[in-house]
Amino acid sequence: MSGMSSQFQQLEKLGEGTYATVYKGKNRTLGTYVALKEINLDSEEGTPSTAIREISLMKELKHENIVTLYDVIHTENKLTLVFEYMDNDLKRYMDIHGYNSSGALDPRTVKDLKPQNLLINSKGVLKLGDFGLARAFGIPVNTFSNEVVTLWYRAPDVLLGSRNYSTSIDMWSAGCILAEMFTGKPLFSGSSNDDQLLKIFRIMGTPNERTWPGVSGYPNYKSNFALFIPQDLRVLIPNIDNEALDLLQGLLQMRPDTRLSARQALHHPWFDEYNNPQKIYGQPSHIQQHVDLTSQSNTSSNSNMMAQQGYNY
């Protein structure tokens, strides 16, 4: 740990997760800021599998919209991952580049996608962070854990007990985030697995074999689910424009096989102004205008709380 202490100065705590604590740090030699993700090692179990998985994936994923892993420092009782420092998360600065970074991911990778894992720096660049729960399809594991995505952004197929999900779960999460960018609050805010399903059914309608072939075969499916018909999302999100609504409906498909892929979403007409090389930068985007409006309605205490969760690994 002495080598670690001499190279980096540990500053304030940025966040704390299931298996790690993240601090803001400073490179004593370069004078630059970093994020120090400290993982305490169990004397019997050793390095957590989530840490091994994250390090392996971060070494493979190199992209301008994915947070950079600079170094891994291993000591007797602690593992420290040194990341580039990001100033905040999407809850404070929602930017359309998040979809660009989703498109940059290897399509064989599934990860934990939520606003707190979309980090943004002082230059307005948004990057994906926290790959501790990501899993590459090439890793020989029979089943995935269904504890993958924060409850409010968890896809219905995962909630119903699917063990064979794909990147479509990220697209559902992206839809939840998109809706939240317009309203300033989560679209589905359940308190438990069953309550989350109920929240989704109330808005998207209760699935059946006609609307979702095979749904009754999921482990958590119940024949006595309360019956709801789909609601008009425009009523729930009155300030949404037609193209954004069409995109949202494509992302929030109950059936995973009918959801838009990241590539399809990127080529949706709603993103035309961002895909156009002639776009004049500096002009407020349609999404940023909505973010500005919703951010004014949020309390300062909520904003501060979400800011502190920017590195909630």
Which stretch of DSSP H or E encloses residue 205?
none
CA distance 92 to 75: 35
C-alpha 9: how far from its chain's center? 29
- What residues are designated binding site for ATP? 37
CA distance 298 to 17: 25
The answer to whether the Cα torsion of 179, 285, 66, 7 is positive or negative is: negative
SS3 16: strand
Task: Report the DSSP beta bridge partners of residue 213.
Answer: none
Q: Contact at 8 Å (CB) between 112 and 150?
A: yes
Q: Contact at 8 Å (CB) between 276 and 189?
A: no
Active site residue 89: no
Q: Contact at 8 Å (CB) between 131 and 58?
A: yes
CA distance 188 to 176: 8
Where are the alpha helices (H) located in the chain, listed in sequence order? Answer: 2-7, 49-60, 97-104, 156-159, 168-183, 193-204, 233-236, 242-251, 262-266, 272-275, 286-297, 300-308
Helix, strand, coil share of the chain (percent; to 5) = 35, 15, 45
CA distances to 12, 113, 124, 231, 254 from 118, in Å: 20, 8, 12, 29, 24
- Which is catalytic among the residues 95, 112, 157, 170? 112
Q: How many Cα atoms are found within 13 Å in the side-chain-facing hemisphere of 265?
A: 32
- What residues are designated binding site? 37
Q: Mind telling me the catalytic residues?
A: 112
